[in-house]
Structure 1
Amino acid sequence: MTAPPRPTTTLWRPTGPVELELVRESGWRAWPPRLPEQPIFYPVLNEEYAVRIARDWNVKHDGSGYVTRFEVDTEFLRRYPVRRAGGRTILELWVPAEELDEFNAHVVGGIEVVHEFH
């Protein structure tokens, strides 16, 4: 008898074309390491917030923006308190760059693109 699947939490990540290509190269399974000036990885808890960032920031700075959706083991995520970065729906998790490999190990299934802006 197999164990029931562990509960997961849906997260979104607004991203530009460079980061998205690195996710593609991982087989849609992992987020790339942070750059030295990026000490935190910020997945968000609200699709609308991710859309706003991808559409309004990534397009302006990178020429295109994407919203990805992925599932992460809920129990693992409890180590990261939810951070409010503005209004009541502007919620993020702050994952230290040095913990990103462990975070990626708790991604369940693949990372998928759900919105694209140019």
Structure 2
Amino acid sequence: METVTLWRPTGPKELALVEESGWCAWPPRLPDQPIFYPVLNEDYATRNARDWNVKASGVGYVTRFEVEKPFLDSYEVQQAGGQTILEYWIPAEDLDKFNSHIVGLIEVVAEFR
């Protein structure tokens, strides 16, 4: 099955929940988080983890994971700024389904303090 590599900047609380899942699922969104937004390039994830997560919680992580391409094809890539600021907007109610299409494990590829 063809997959797409995605990244997600995250803080320590969300990462702890990913670890609790066995590194195979993202936790449910909070009530004020209607969208889960994995990003399409590592540089964008790095900037968010370094510049936003560190300020918000003292540490930021960049994660990488694979998702089945046929599943992602039902969602449009969103340009959230410049040409390289690309992400998927997965509605919170679709997150369980999204998680079931992750291939392999979610891995931490960078940490910033």
TM range (shorter): over 0.9
Tell me the equivalent position of 1:106: 101
Q: What TM-score do the two structures reach when normalised by structure 2?
A: 0.99
% identical aligned pairs: 72
> Gaps (5+ residues) in structure 2?
none
Tell me the equivalent position of 1:95: 90
What is the SS of the residue equivalent to 1:37?
A: coil
Query: Larger Cα Rg: Structure 1 or Structure 2?
Result: 1
Q: What TM-score do the two structures reach when normalised by structure 1?
A: 0.95
Q: Which amino acid aligns with 2:65?
A: F
Work out the CA distance in 2 between the residues paired with 1:96 and 1:115.
26
Spell out structure 1 runs of 4+ moving beyond 6 A: none
Q: Which amino acid aligns with 1:8?
A: T
Matched, 1:82 2:77: yes
Tell me the equivalent position of 1:3: none
What is the SS of the residue equivalent to 1:54?
A: helix
The alignment of Structure 1 onto Structure 2 pairs a total of residues equal to 113
1:1-118 alignment runs, 5 A limit: 6-118=1-113
Per-residue deviation, 1:62: 0.8
> Gaps (5+ residues) in structure 1?
1-5
Work out the CA distance in 2 between the residues paired with 1:107 and 1:59.
26
Work out the CA distance in 1 between the residues paired with 2:11 and 2:75.
24
Work out the CA distance in 2 between the residues paired with 1:92 and 1:68.
14
